[in-house]
Amino acid sequence: MTPVHFTFSSTFILGLTGLAFHRTHLLSALLCLEGMMLSLFVALSLWSLQFNVTNFSAAPMLLLAFSACEAGAGLALLVATARTHGTDHLQSLSLLQC
Amino acid sequence: MTYIVFLFLVGLVLGLIAVASNPSPYFAALGLVVVAGMGCGVLVGHGGSFLSLVLFLIYLGGMLVVFAYSAALAAEPYPETWGSRPVAFYMMVYLLGVVLVGWALWGGWYEGSWVSSDEMFEFSVVRGDVGGVAVMYSSGGGLLVIGAWVLLLTLFVVLELTRGLSRGALRAV
């Protein structure tokens, strides 16, 4: 394991723990998810760069496109939540009445 | 160059600690900007100039602007920065965890810097990652069409989620 591999592995795990343990805002959870996608992008890019498999360079681009889809759907849910509840605290999402 | 890449790696971990330690969303978005910039530096250090450019332009220019704009929906009167007590506590915990795991794995690290792409660059016309991304338009055309289709589908998903008024996907909006 080189320091580069340790770094992107630890950033993925850090984003996962932030997503799992800190859920005050919905936007914070989405940002942790984006951090995880960013570490995956760096990991895929480094895989194709370090092993000289340049045909694989298209995979991080497609990953970026799919993560844009995920961010768009998440932010649409954020806007819908802000319109119904007036806030994006995840604590207020479990209330029965709007 | 090895030491600069080391600096970028440390900045990558510190930026994601800043995102994951539950500050207010404005500051978390700022931490994600730092993470994206440091990731660009790491990719440049490994010879992937085009992938780094894509990450910088698409990620910082497209997605993070939308995230920073959406932070206005999560406004709160007393935002928590990294200096406030619970956030600083979680930052110390995460930093200690990363340092401990890195110290435990220290003996297994065999090389500081790996050989990056394009050792034979004097024989080539384009960089390796530029040529690799260009394959997406020839052999990877099917997956490119699927990606465009998914983006179009996401457009309709977003429109239906935010429409409201008893016709959209969420009728309570």
State yes or no: pLDDT of A39 exceeds 90: yes
pLDDT, residue A10, reads 92
* B115: Cα within 13 Å, side-chain hemisphere: 7
| Cα–Cα distance measured from residue A21 to residue A40, given in angstroms and rounded to the nearest whole number | 20
pTM as predicted: 0.88
* B19-24 mean pLDDT: 84
Evaluate whether A37 touches A67 at the Cβ level (below 8 Å): yes
State yes or no: pLDDT of B123 exceeds 70: no
- Three-class DSSP category at A25: strand
What pLDDT digit, counting tens, does each position of B86-108 carry?
888 888 999 999 999 888 887 77
Report ipTM (2 d.p.): 0.86
* B65: Cα within 13 Å, side-chain hemisphere: 7
Evaluate whether A28 touches A40 at the Cβ level (below 8 Å): no
What pLDDT digit, counting tens, does each position of B132-158 carry?
888 888 888 899 999 999 999 999 999
Of the pLDDT bands very low, low, confident and very high (cuts 50, 70, 90), residue A21 is: confident
Evaluate whether B32 touches B19 at the Cβ level (below 8 Å): yes
* Window 32-51 of A, Cβ < 8 Å to B: 32, 34-35, 38-39, 41-42, 45-46, 48-50
Lowest mean pLDDT among A27-41, A79-93, B56-70: A79-93
| Cα–Cα distance measured from residue B83 to residue B48, given in angstroms and rounded to the nearest whole number | 36
Instruction: Report chain B residues whose CB lies below 8 A from the CB of A17.
Output: 20, 94
pLDDT, residue B152, reads 95
pLDDT, residue A96, reads 60
Is B157 exposed, middle or buried, given 0-12, 13-18 or 19+ CB atoms closer than 10 A? Answer: middle
pLDDT, residue B83, reads 79
* A12-26 mean pLDDT: 87
With CA atoms as reference, report the closest residue to B148 among A58, A66, A37.
Answer: A66
The domains found in chain A, sorted by start residue, are 3-94 (1.10.287.3510)
Mean predicted lDDT score pLDDT of chain B: 82
Q: Which residues contact residue B63 at a Cβ distance below 8 angstroms, ignoring those fewer than 6 apart?
A: A34, A67, A68, A71
State yes or no: pLDDT of B119 exceeds 70: no
Interface contact flag, A80 B102, Cβ < 8 Å: no
